[in-house]
Every structure is written in structure tokens, then in C-alpha cells.
């Protein structure tokens, strides 16, 4: 489900609003922030997870937008432009101790025979994923898995699946080709699937074995 | 794109969800799913994981004070009367 915009707006409108805001127009300023602030902040916050860092980066991003609006031509989408600035700024500010998980297809895809047929059984816990009683735990598993992912998969996932940008918009924001976006998106989804599979399959283990594991 | 084997079909999960398969490929994909229990299970759980992640992460809210502070900062910098 995408996050819809209620009224179609052109990038030329955004450009005009930003120029007016820069000139001190309070109404234009409010409108620019109403349109973009929440989503931009959420994207930055998803990457940085720290409110203070987010505040600092967000301020820089909007100042950059206001300062550089003259270089924005209005042919490309204003929304992808501002989000590109935001993602780049957030990624630069991110101080990661270790690199995130690189998703291996070997670990996240099932085994296949040489003829391409699947060689294993696959448990179907998709109904349980919607079970309200398990929701809190499953969500925690997901959150942890998303946080563990390397930025190159995580940002694609955040932009496409969480924020609802199209593949093309995501590609523009991240300055990647669409095939690269699809590949990283697929790997992110595989990784999350595996994290949940481990969780649900552990839950399904018979109690005796769980007790032995202590 | 060939959609005969399990491997080909599972490699195309994101293409399918993004609507990037041709009509023929999509039909082949769906037909394979109808006839292959493990692939169907993998697909269902793949999609359920994405959906749960989407819901979980969309609940993340930026603290409202943060939005207010950013707004005030910018107003000040731009010399906009509040």
C-alpha cells in the first residue's frame, strides 16, 4: 500500500513555493513543510534512529534545499530530489561500527536440484504472520533484521516498501539503475523472510526439544 | 524469462510483485504456484514478511517535538515570522 498524496502536485509548484519561502513568505514556507517535512524526517530517522542526529541532518537538508533551489530545474520530481539529498546526508552522518549484513542468496533461498526443482520442504507460516497474538514478537524480529541489513539493502527497502516510492523513484533517489534496485529489494525481502522463518520454525518446535535446549 | 523451474520462479518473486513480468510469464508463474506446494509456501511467506515489515516500520513515528524544532529552526534561519 503506497502512501498516497491527496492532490496531484507538480514539481513546478514545489519550486515556486520554496522560492517564495526563501523570500520570507510564511504561507509558502508552511506549505513546503506540510508537503515534505514528515516524510523526509521519517526517512532520515529510519536511517539514523537517533532523534538528535535526525534533527541536525534534517535542518541541513532543508537549508540545502532552500539554498540550492535555483539549481533544481523542475523537470525531475522535487520529491525525489529532496529525498536524494536527505538519504545522502543521512547515510553520510551514519556512524556504523561494523558493516551491515550482506545478503547471501545461498543462505536465504532454498536448495535446488540441478534441474532447478526445489529440493526441500518449505513451511508456510504466512497466516501466523498476521496473528495478532504473535504480532509484537514477530515485529521485533523484523525490526532487528531490518536494522542488521547493510545500508545498500535497507535504504532500498525503506524507500520502496515502507515509504511507497516507485521503483523508478527509488532508483532516482539512490542514483542506481532499476535492475540494481530490484536486486537489492529482492535480497532485503529474502533476508526478512528468513529471519521470520527462523522465528516461526522455532516456535513450532515440539516442547520436549525446546526444554532440552534449555 | 523462463518460468519453468522452481529456481526460475523463485528468482522472479520481486519481478512478479512489482508487476514486471509479461502476461505470459505471469501466467506461467501463477500456474507453477498452483502446482508446487513448497514454492507457493515460499512465495506466501516472502510476501507476508514484506507486508509485516511494511506495517511494523510504518508505525515508526518521528517524535512530534522534532518536527516542531526543525520547523522553528528553519523559520528563524529564513527570517519568517511565526
Query: How much is the ipTM here?
Result: 0.91
Length of chain B: 82
Which residue in B55, B73, B81 is closest to A59 by CB distance? B73
Domain boundaries, chain A: 14-97, 105-213
* Chain B residue with minimum CA distance to A146: B53
> Domain A105-213, what fold?
Arc Repressor Mutant, subunit A (1.10.10)
Average pLDDT over residues B11-26: 96
The domain at A14-97 falls in which architecture? Orthogonal Bundle (1.10)
Which pLDDT does position A1 carry in this prediction?
A: 42
Which pLDDT does position A179 carry in this prediction?
A: 97
Contact of B38 with A125, CB cutoff 8 Å: no
Report the alpha-carbon distance of residue A28 to residue A25 in Å, rounded: 5
Of the candidates A85, A93, A99, the one whose C-alpha atom is nearest the C-alpha of residue A53 is: A93
Report the alpha-carbon distance of residue A101 to residue A84 in Å, rounded: 23
pTM: 0.88
Give A100's pLDDT tier (boundaries 50, 70, 90). confident
pLDDT at A212 over 70: no
Please, how many CA atoms are within 13 Å of residue A140, restricted to the half-sphere of its CB? 5
Which residue in this structure is represented by grid cell 526443482?
Answer: A117
Please, how many CA atoms are within 13 Å of residue A46, restricted to the half-sphere of its CB? 30
pLDDT at A33 over 90: yes
Average pLDDT over residues A54-72: 94
Which pLDDT does position A2 carry in this prediction?
A: 46
Q: How far apart are the first and last CA of chain B?
A: 58
Q: Which residues of B touch A67 (CB under 8 A)?
A: none
Does residue B21 belong to the interface with chain A, where contact is any CB pair within 8 Å? no
pLDDT at A214 over 60: no
Report the alpha-carbon distance of residue A49 to residue A127 in Å, rounded: 30
Which pLDDT does position A190 carry in this prediction?
A: 98
pLDDT at A13 over 80: yes
Q: Which residues of A touch B54 (CB under 8 A)?
A: 1, 161-162
Per mean pLDDT, which range of A6-20, A130-144, B4-18 is the poorest?
A6-20
> Under 8 Å CB-to-CB from A118, ≥6 apart: which residues?
A110, A111, A112, B6, B7, B10, B36, B38, B39, B42
A contact test, residue of B42, B65, B71, B76 with most A CBs within 10 A: B42
Say yes or no for a CB contact (<8 Å) between B66 and A59: no
Contact of A29 with A35, CB cutoff 8 Å: no
Greatest distance between any 2 Cα atoms in chain B: 66
Say yes or no for a CB contact (<8 Å) between B45 and A129: yes
* CA triple A106-A128-A134, angle to 5 deg: 105
Which pLDDT does position A213 carry in this prediction?
A: 55
Contact of A191 with A101, CB cutoff 8 Å: yes
> Under 8 Å CB-to-CB from A201, ≥6 apart: which residues?
A123, A125
The enclosing H or E element of A96 equals none
Average pLDDT over residues A74-103: 87
Amino acid at each position: 500500500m503506497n502512501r498516497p498524496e491527496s492532490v496531484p502536485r507538480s514539481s513546478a509548484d514545489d519550486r515556486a513555493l520554496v522560492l517564495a519561502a526563501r523570500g520570507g513568505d510564511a504561507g509558502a514556507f508552511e506549505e513546503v513543510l506540510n508537503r515534505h517535512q514528515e516524510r523526509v524526517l521519517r526517512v532520515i530517522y529510519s536511517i539514523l534512529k537517533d532523534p538528535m542526529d535526525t534533527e541536525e541532518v534534517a535542518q541541513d537538508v532543508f537549508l540545502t534545499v532552500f539554498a540550492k533551489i535555483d539549481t533544481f530545474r523542475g523537470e525531475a520530481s522535487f520529491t525525489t530530489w529532496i529525498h536524494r539529498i536527505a538519504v545522502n546526508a543521512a547515510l553520510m552522518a551514519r556512524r556504523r561500527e561494523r558493516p551491515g549484513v550482506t545478503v547471501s542468496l545461498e543462505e536465504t533461498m532454498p536448495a535446488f536440484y540441478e534441474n532447478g526443482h526445489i529440493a526441500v520442504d518449505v513451511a508456510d507460516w504466512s497466516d501466523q504472520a498476521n496473528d495478532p497474538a504473535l504480532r509484537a514478537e514477530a515485529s521485533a524480529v523484523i525490526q532487528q533484521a531490518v536494522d542488521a541489513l547493510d545500508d545498500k539493502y535497507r535504504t532500498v527497502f525503506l524507500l520502496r516498501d515502507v515509504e511507497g516510492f516507485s521503483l523508478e523513484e527509488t532508483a532516482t533517489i539512490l542514483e542506481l539503475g532499476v535492475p540494481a534496485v530490484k536486486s537489492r529489494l529482492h535480497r532485503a525481502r529474502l533476508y526478512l523472510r528468513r529471519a521470520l522463518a527462523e522465528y516461526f520454525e522455532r516456535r513450532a518446535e515440539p516442547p520436549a526439544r525446546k526444554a532440552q535446549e534449555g | 524469462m523462463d518460468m519453468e523451474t522452481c529456481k526460475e520462479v523463485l528468482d522472479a518473486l520481486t519481478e512478479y510483485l512489482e508487476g514486471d513480468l509479461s502476461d505470459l510469464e505471469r501466467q506461467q508463474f501463477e500456474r507453477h504456484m498452483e502446482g508446487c506446494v513448497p514454492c507457493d509456501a515460499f512465495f506466501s511467506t516472502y510476501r507476508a514478511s514484506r507486508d509485516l515489515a511494511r506495517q511494523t516500520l510504518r508505525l515508526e513515528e518521528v517524535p512530534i517535538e522534532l518536527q516542531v524544532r526543525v520547523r522553528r529552526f528553519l523559520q528563524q534561519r529564513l527570517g519568517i515570522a511565526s
